[in-house]
Amino acid sequence: MSSTPGSRPSTTAIIGWLIAAAVIVALAVLLVLNGAAVWNSFFPPEAKSVQGQEIRNLYDIVFVIAAVIFLIVEGLIVWTVIRYRRKPGDDELPAQTHGNNLAEAIWTIVPTIIVIFLFVISWQSLNKIETVSATPDLRVRAVAGQFQWSFEYLPADADATTKALFTVNAPLGPDGGLVLPAGQTTHLYLRSTDVIHAFYVPQFLFKRDVVPQKNPLHDNQFDLDIPASGAGQTYRGQCAELCGVGHRIMVFEVRALAPAEFQAWYDKQVAAVNATAPPAPSGGQAGPPVNVTAQGVKFLEPTLTAPAAGFTFHFDNKDAGTPHDLDIVASDGKKVFDSKEFPGPAVQDLPVPPIPAGTYQFICSIHPTLMTGTLTVQ
Amino acid sequence: MSGSSQSVLTTGDPGHAVAEHNPVAGLAHDSRGGISNPILGMLLFICSEIMFFSGLFAAYFSVRASTTPWPPVEPADIAEHFNLHSEPWFAAILTVILVVSSVTCQLGVWAIRRDDRTGFIRNIGVTVVLGIVFLIGQAYDYATLGFGIGDTTFGTTFYTLTGFHGAHVFGGVVMLSVVLYRGLAGQFSSRHHDAVEASSLYWHFVDVVWIALFSTLYIL
Amino acid sequence: MATTTLTPAASTYRSGLYEWITTTDHKKIGILYLLNSFLFFFIGGLLALGVRTELAIPGLQLLTNEGLYNQFFTMHGTVMIFLFIIPILAGFGNYVVPLQIGAPDMAFPRINALSFWMLPLGGILLLMGFLTGGAASAGWTSYAPLSEDRIGAAVNDAAGSGQDLWIMALVLIGTSSILGSVNFLVTIFKMRAPGMTLFRMPILVWTVLVTSVLVLMATPVITSALIMLFIDRNYGGHFFDPATGGNAILWQNVFWFYSHPAVYVMVLPAMGMISEILPVFSRKPLFGYRAFVFATAGIGALGFSVWAHHMFTTGAVYLPFFSLMTFLIAVPTGVKMFNWIFTLFRGKLTFSTPLLFALGFLSMFLIGGINGAFSAAVPVDFALHDTYWVVAHLHYVLFGGSVFGVMAGLYYWFPKMTGRMLGEGLGKVQFVLMFIGFNLTFFPMHQLGLAGMPRRIADYAANAGWNDLNLLATVGGFMIGASMIPLLWNVFISLRAGKIAGDDPWEANTLEWATSSPPPPYNFDRLPEIRSERPLFDLRHGRTANH
Ligand code: HEA
Ligand code: HEA
Ligand code: CUA
Ligand SMILES: [Cu+2]
């Protein structure tokens, strides 16, 4: 800031310079390091769903308008502040302006026009996003509960009350996730088994709350179209509404497959369900019982020992409404034992066939980050 | 910035400016005619109370709208008691009691405005008694209704709404009892009875809330 | 009602501890409000630093379990909002409003004292949760049914007494606000000095008036919601539990019906303070006084029709209506923004610390307002809701707005309250640290939000691409904390040896500067004539200069 020749710059001026310098240096460093990345960080990721692209287009318009408003107003502030600082020794009163009707009318009307414009375009894109097809290619119910996701595939003519054809329980991994056909329309229903969760996939720029409802017909629903180019891609999803201690771990994946691949996957799932379940191994084959208890989304026994000749898990799930399963994973990551999940409170006996001695992990594949323990087989 | 410029009004010596005489008397505060401070305060407080009950009513209607049929029919053994429409008589009597008490309360206010202290005390006394009768009646009603606060959303909303109204009746009775007590001690006159006016406003408000409650729960 | 025994002896204005505890003097109560609020600001700030430390790098470091993290941000938000920002603004109102309208005290001094003392009590109740097996942990919004805890302690940590203590504390604090607002309204309507017409009231008084109306109409509604939650939790009620016929969205409707108007409760008085400060330091009247009053009232009125913009993703509200109203609220706020700027325009600005913080308010609140308007575009909110973008928004308005306003007010009125000036040098150091630290902390949160980082998570994957920005935010958070050191030091040395302020150190316009610093009990010896909204200016320069 300038000062009359010979006078020392005031502390205020120094501060002004400090702030300005800090901001400029920070910006310069950022831009030099990675200009494009900085610019891109002011935008959401490239949208990977048709609805998301609509949102992204709207965001871009809002961003530009907002940036222009910001630059004008902030520029006006900074300019005024620099221009009208009081010079030392100047004790005269400035003109005592109390207002100006024209100016005030302008800055009432112009913003009104801007916001009405913004409202109109956001309403238009809202209508596009909310449109649902009467004949979607696929209907899926995403079920959220503390703290896991599962995906129920519904028959073509289903509504929110219809029973699932088959269910994908693992929210992640090559056998799990929300598997969808790229280039086709999926209609999603959101069902909660307890508190409010939210279905959020950053790359779709979209989230919708999973609100518990007594009547399933009130469940939230929406259409999701992944363009054909998305085939083979996996997108990260995460629960976005605080739902308790495990809120963070409620992650899932959306896997888009080319239609043919999807059909193959789909048929396989249906076939697996239809195949008559193998008869439960009779008690005679099972070995001695090993007690496992799940409570509060934790295994109460962190370590277990079992005979290599086979044994029976006596699995007590004490978590009301929360399903758990019990799998044994070898050190190379292979599952040597895989059980079906069931909601608590309930007890099941799960016979485990003979497995080689060694150290294994036992996990609940629905809550793999919270529920693990070590199993020593002798 | 002139760091120590002094006001044109006082000497600027912080220790000295404390007035020896009553500093306020010369200023015409508190005398802008119209309604007195306590009464304005009570009216504003009643506004907030209206919003409080609006919240409860909103909850009631929201829950009611999402429950069909209303009143609920399950669980059957309890739900048979939900049908308040067919048995509104007891509540209707309570309504009459409360409305009458509002009238006597107002008669009391009019009496003190005329400096009729006996009339004032008699009417406020009757109001207090009627208020207590109402509370006893409500307690009796609660004891005989056959459902509890945990019995479906019907029980929850019913007891919350009527219970909070009851608590307000209780508050009003306390207020009027204080007024009665002070009245017996001769503290009110036609020129000085803000507390009476304020309490009666509150009492009327409590009465109006009950009428709304009765219409909603027993008639609508 | 009022306790005004006339003829107070000067000797009763002592400052013993007993005197402070039993005082009904609005000035002492105002100072108590400020002290109490700053105490809770530090508590809330330390909790925030805990949050920032946890998030500095991926992996759980500071906190051993996520339940504790949830308690931290829940209590951080609750303390900052209900025990810091709302009460501190009420505290400034308490101190300044009676002085500015030329009244001897508030209308109901004893109720005033009661309102104050409910706050520390509420604060203690709230924090006791940490000692009784877990504080509330369902967020400051405490969405049902999570906050009802039907499932069991271990799963969502909302069991235990923490949540119930939270409810009781909020009912207490809410009651305190309601009583306070009745007191303010009666004071403003009935206790103005002769000549102080409504349209000659200082803008701060106007903003306190509108704020009081908001409190009066909105706070009882959340009280009713809190009571319903309490009944659900403790007496087997079913208001919010869908499994038994309740309605989960009901809580959100009632909560936001209160909490959106409440965000204006958290900023309007700060806007009022700015509107006192900008004219004084630019030596001009506030530009467009009447427009400013109408804009304030307009914000208050519109504020009741936008609550569901917090619920755009619930699928349970009529989106276009709330979108439109939310957009519209930018208009009166914009009017204020331009009025402020044109107050500075062609003025003669003196960069004392109050003005610096006021300018900080202008430029930071601008960012917070605009990034709030992004969310008014419903589809954009589908992307931004419950991400760090919203955390950026709320801190830009609440910290960049209200807290900068509070600091400006503190430097501005401290001389009046204590008779001594705060040091300018330390003030400027604080400003620089706070301004830079603030932007370092909260600006990157925009980018984090866009990159998909949800709020209210204790940890994130190391490969999510959020590491650098989070570290930056943490560094900034500690810088804000550091900026409190010059402030505390400044207050400490100024109280002992600060420059004597005199009655009117800033050449200000309003009545509080017409009495001594600190003012005597019952405030005024004599009052100047009031013929405009700037009685002292008129006195100094003659009425003619006012045109
Ligand atoms: C002091 C507090 C305060 C203030 C003043 C505001 C002001 C505003 N807020 Fe904010 N808000 C919060 C505190 C506040 N908010 C908090 C705490 C939350 C989070 C709650 C939680 O979930 O925990 C929140 C969340 C929140 C949401 C929900 C986001 C989500 O969860 O998805 C939305 C959505 O619309 C919103 C919008 C707005 C708008 C439009 C304004 C407007 O009032 C802003 C208007 C101002 C301007 C726009 C700038 C000046 C104007 C101009 C220069 C004129 C020209 C401008 C245009 C034409 C755009 N806010
Ligand atoms: C007025 C309101 C206010 C203020 C001032 C702040 C201030 C700060 N907030 Fe605040 N914040 C909220 C209101 C506020 N916040 C709300 C409403 C939420 C939402 C909560 C929810 O989701 O439920 C939130 C959430 C929130 C989050 C998101 C948490 C999450 O979603 O997981 C984060 C994360 O960084 C954060 C950080 C900070 C920081 C670093 C500060 C800093 O400014 C703090 C600065 C630090 C200090 C002021 C401490 C100074 C003290 C000392 C250095 C010690 C001195 C000690 C003595 C003298 C004894 N806040
Ligand atoms: Cu489920 Cu968060
Ligand atoms: Cu809001």
Interface of C with A in 149-168 (CB under 8 A): 150-158
Contacts B168 to C, Cβ<8 Å: none
The minimal CB distance from C190 to the residues B27, B32, B50 is found for B32
Is a pLDDT exceeding 50 seen at residue B4? no
Instruction: Among A276-280, A310-314, B14-18, C248-252, name the one with the lowest average pLDDT.
Output: B14-18
* B144-176 as b/e: b if 16+ CB within 10 A: ebebebbbbbbbbbbbbbbbbbbebbbebbebb
Rounded distance from Cα C401 to ligand 2 centre (Å): 14
Residues in contact with A90: Cβ distance below 8 Å, sequence separation at least 6, in sequence order: C348
| Rg, chain C, Cα only | 23
Per the CB < 8 A criterion, the answer to whether A171 and A177 are in contact is: yes
CB C504 within 8 A of CB B7: yes
Distance A372 CA to ligand 4 centre (A): 42
Q: What is the CATH number of domain A289-377?
A: 2.60.40.420
* CB-CB under 8 Å, C382 with A205: yes
Q: 100-129 in C: which are within 8 Å (CB) of B? A: 102-104, 107-108
Helix, strand, coil fractions of chain B, as percent rounded to 5? 70, 0, 30
**Ligand 3 centre from A127 Cα, in Å?**
27
A79 touches chain C (CB under 8 A): no
- Distance (Å) from CA A145 to ligand 3 centroid: 8
Of how many residues is chain B composed?
Answer: 220
Give residue C308's pLDDT.
94
- Which of ligand 2's atoms lies nearest the C-alpha of C49? 40
B35-219 classified as CATH 1.20.120.80: yes
pLDDT, residue B35, reads 85
Residues in chain C with CB shorter than 8 Å from the CB of A62 are: 373-374, 377, 380
- Do A360 and A329 form a contact (C-beta atoms < 8 A)? yes
Quick one: pLDDT at residue B17? 33
Task: Give percent above pLDDT 70 in chain B.
Answer: 85
Tokens of A357: 């001695």
Q: How many CA atoms lie within 13 A of A255 on its CB side?
A: 18
CB C437 within 8 A of CB C476: yes
Contacts of C301 (CB under 8 A, 6+ apart): none
Mean local confidence (pLDDT), B14-18: 33
Please give the distance, rounded to the nearest whole angstrom, from the Cα atom of residue C307 to the centre of ligand 2. 23
Give the residue from C75, C265, C92 showing the smallest Cα distance to C166: C75
| Closest in A87, A107, A147 to C338, CB measured | A107
Q: How far is CA C461 from CA A240, C43, C60, C65, C512, in A?
A: 15, 29, 11, 16, 55
| C20-40: pLDDT as tens digits | 888 899 999 999 999 999 999
As a whole number of angstroms, the distance between CA C539 and CA C536 comes to: 5
> Which of A17, A76, A80, A106 is the best residue to mutate to test the C interface, defined by the most C CB atoms within 10 Å of its own CB?
A80
The DSSP line for B111-170 is: HHHTT-HHHHHHHHHHHHHHHHHHHHHHHHHHHHSS--TTSHHHHHHHHHHHHHHHHHHH
Chain A residues within 8 A of C423 when measuring between CB atoms: none
Write the residue in C143, C291, C319 that is nearest to A196 by C-beta: C143
Of all residues in chain C, the percent with pLDDT exceeding 90 is: 78
Q: Which residues contact C197 (CB under 8 A, 6 or more apart)?
A: none
Chains that touch B (3 or more CB pairs under 8 A): C
Q: Find the residue in A nearest to C367 (Cα).
A: A70
Largest Cα separation within chain C, whole Å, is: 72
Contact C108 B37 (CB under 8 A): yes
Q: Are strands A234-239 and A220-225 parallel, antiparallel or unpaired?
A: unpaired
The CATH T-level fold of domain A20-85+101-130 is: Helix Hairpins (1.10.287)
For residue range A103-154, what is the model confidence (pLDDT) as tens digits?
999 999 999 999 999 999 999 999 999 999 989 999 999 999 888 899 999 9
Question: For A15-19, A186-190, A240-244, C315-319, which range has the lowest pLDDT when averaged over its residues?
Answer: A15-19
> Which of B135-139, B171-175, C113-117, C241-245 is the least confident region?
C241-245
Which atom of ligand 1 has the smallest separation from the CA of C306? 35
Query: Is the CB of C214 within 6 Å of ligand 1?
Result: no
Contact call for B10 and C514, based on CB within 8 A = yes
Nearest to A11 among C155, C362, C425 (CB): C425
- Segment C198-208 shows an average pLDDT of 95
* CATH 2.60.40.420 residue spans of chain A: 138-274, 289-377
Q: What angle (nearest 5°) sits at the alpha carbon of residue B68, between those of residues B67 and B72?
A: 80
Instruction: Determine which residue's CA is closest to atom 11 belonging to ligand 2.
Output: C77
| pLDDT at C124 exceeding the cut of 80 | yes
Q: What is the pLDDT of residue A341?
A: 74
The answer, for C515 touching chain A at a CB cutoff of 8 Å, is no
pLDDT tens digits for range C255-270: 999 999 999 999 999 9
User: Over 80: is that where the pLDDT of B22 sits?
Assistant: no
| pLDDT at residue C19, as a whole number | 85
Nearest CB neighbour to B7, from listed C185, C191, C514? C514
Q: Which atom of ligand 3 is nearest to the CA of A146?
A: 1
Span C167-186, average pLDDT: 96
Rounded to whole angstroms, the Cα distance separating C119 from C79 reads 11
The reply to whether ligand 3 has any atom less than 6 angstroms from the CB of A243 is: yes
pLDDT number for residue A276 = 57
Q: Tokens at residue C146, please?
A: 């999570």
Site to substitute for ligand 2 among C391, C406, C407, C441, most atoms within 8 A of C-beta: C391
A111 lines ligand 1 (CB under 6 A): yes
pLDDT score recorded for residue A347: 86
Q: Which of the residue ranges A201-210, A286-295, C357-366 would you say has the lowest mean pLDDT? A: A286-295
How is domain A138-274 classified at the architecture level of CATH? Sandwich (2.60)
Indicate if the pLDDT at residue B13 is higher than 80: no
Contact A262, A254 (CB under 8 A): no
- Domain range annotation of chain B: 1-34, 35-219
- A197, β-bridge pairs: A210
**Contact check, Cβ <8 Å, B40/C190:** yes
Q: Is residue A67 within 8 Å of C370, Cβ to Cβ? A: no
Range among A214-218, C297-301, C315-319 with highest mean pLDDT value: C297-301
- Give residue A314's pLDDT: 87
Residue B77 has pLDDT above 50, yes or no: yes
pLDDT at A189 over 70: yes
Interface membership of C139 toward B (CB under 8 Å): no
pLDDT at residue C430 greater than cutoff 70: yes
Per-residue pLDDT at A144: 93
A35 token code pair: 């200009």
CA C378 / ligand 1 centre spacing (Å):
13
Read off the pLDDT band of A89 (50, 70, 90): confident
Contact call for C238 and B1, based on CB within 8 A? no
Judged by average pLDDT, the poorest of A32-36, A105-109, C405-409 is A32-36
Selected residue with higher pLDDT from A215 and A19: A215
Give CA–CA dist C100/C105, Å, rounded.
11
pLDDT (tens digit per residue) in A246-290 = 899 899 999 999 999 999 999 999 988 887 555 554 444 557 888
C163 Cα: distance to centroid of ligand 2 (angstroms): 20
Residues 183 through 222 of chain C touching chain B, CB cutoff 8 Å: 183, 185-186, 189-194, 216-222
3-state secondary structure of B107: helix
Render pLDDT for B114-143 as a digit per residue (tens, 0 to 9): 999 999 999 999 999 999 999 999 999 898
From the CA of C69, how far away is ligand 2's center (Å)? 13
The yes-or-no verdict on residue B153 having pLDDT over 80 is: yes
A7 has pLDDT over 50: no
pLDDT reported for residue C16: 79
Q: Which of C222, C231, C500 has the CB atom closest to B4's CB atom?
A: C500
A312, HSE (Cβ side, Cα atoms, 13 Å): 17
Contacts of residue C350, Cβ cutoff 8 Å, sequence gap at least 6: A86, B1, C281, C283
- Determine, for residues B194 and C103 on separate chains, whether the beta-carbon distance falls below 8 Å: no
Interface test mutation site (partner A, options C380, C384, C393, C547, max chain A beta carbons within 10 A):
C380
Q: Where residue C15 falls among pLDDT bands split at 50, 70, 90?
A: low
Burial of A252 (0-12, 13-18, 19+ CB in 10 A): buried
Structure token digits, residue A139: 């209907």
B58 vs C contacts (CB less than 8 Å): 253-254
- The CATH code of the domain at C22-541 is 1.20.210.10
- Interface ipTM: 0.90
Ion ligand 4: residues, CB < 5 A: C 260
Binding site membership of A250 for ligand 3 (Cβ less than 6 Å): yes
Q: How far is the CA of A242 from the centre of ligand 2 (A)?
A: 18
Q: Is the CB of A140 under 6 A from ligand 3?
A: no
Ligand nearest to the CA of A148: 3
Name chain C's partners: 3 or more CB pairs within 8 A.
Answer: A, B
Testing the interface with C: which of B24, B60, B64, B157 to mutate, by most C Cβ within 10 A?
A: B24
Place of tokens 């009247």: C285
How many angstroms separate the CA atoms of A71 and B163, rounded?
Answer: 56
A169 φ, ψ to 5°?
-90, -35
* Residue, of A94 and C544, whose pLDDT is higher: A94
C376 vs C61, which has greater pLDDT? C376
Q: Which of A154-168, A323-337, C169-183, C355-369 has the lowest mean pLDDT?
A: A323-337
| pLDDT at residue B20 greater than cutoff 60 | no
Beta strand A220-225 pairing with A185-192: antiparallel
User: Of all helices (H) and strands (E), which one includes residue C394?
Assistant: helix C388-397
* Mutation for testing the B interface, residue in C186, C211, C265, C418 having most B CBs under 10 Å: C186
Per-domain residue ranges for chain C?
22-541
**Test the C interface: residue of A207, A224, A239 with most C CBs within 10 Å:** A207
